[in-house]
Amino acid sequence: GGGAFNIFLLRQFFRTIPEDLADAARIDGCSEYGIYGRIMMPLAKPALTTVAIFTFIGTWNDFMGPLLYLNSPDKFTVSRGLAMFRSVLYTRWDLLMAASTAMTLPIILVFFAAQRYFVQGVVLTGLKG
């Protein structure tokens, strides 16, 4: 969903886009939908990618939600299934650590796939780092 942090992040990002871009597009005859689709959304790709990654990571690592509303072990999320590796008497730490490593791989892959949008955001905004 649209958590408060994501909404505030997008709000702050859109406030950094100069209104002069929209004014220049209006002078050139662009409609409001055209301004939104051709100017604002391409500029917002880095912020939208950030929101998508934060939402994915939050959902992927969610433990309490599935603990509350899922009853069947075959529908458990990865983090909930990882907690099942632990038992009262004996814990196979080698399997637990291997599963923990495997659990982080999709997050790392998503980040590397979206990394170019972060670089694009730095180039478009002119930030120096």
78 Cα distance to chain centroid: 18
85-108 pLDDT per residue, tens: 777 678 888 888 998 899 999 989
SS3 17: coil
Measure the CA–CA gap between 117 and 63, rounded to whole angstroms. Answer: 29
In this predicted model, what pLDDT tens digit does every residue of 19-61 receive, in sequence order? 888 999 999 999 999 999 999 999 888 889 888 888 888 888 8
pTM of the model: 0.75
Q: Give 108's contacts (C-beta < 8 A, 6+ positions apart).
A: none
Residues 6+ apart with CB under 8 A from 58: 3
Q: Write down the domain spans for the chain.
A: 1-43, 46-129
Alpha helices in the chain (DSSP H): 4-16, 19-27, 32-35, 41-43, 45-60, 64-69, 78-83, 93-125
Per-residue pLDDT at 33: 95
- Rounded Cα gap, residues 60 and 103, in angstroms: 9
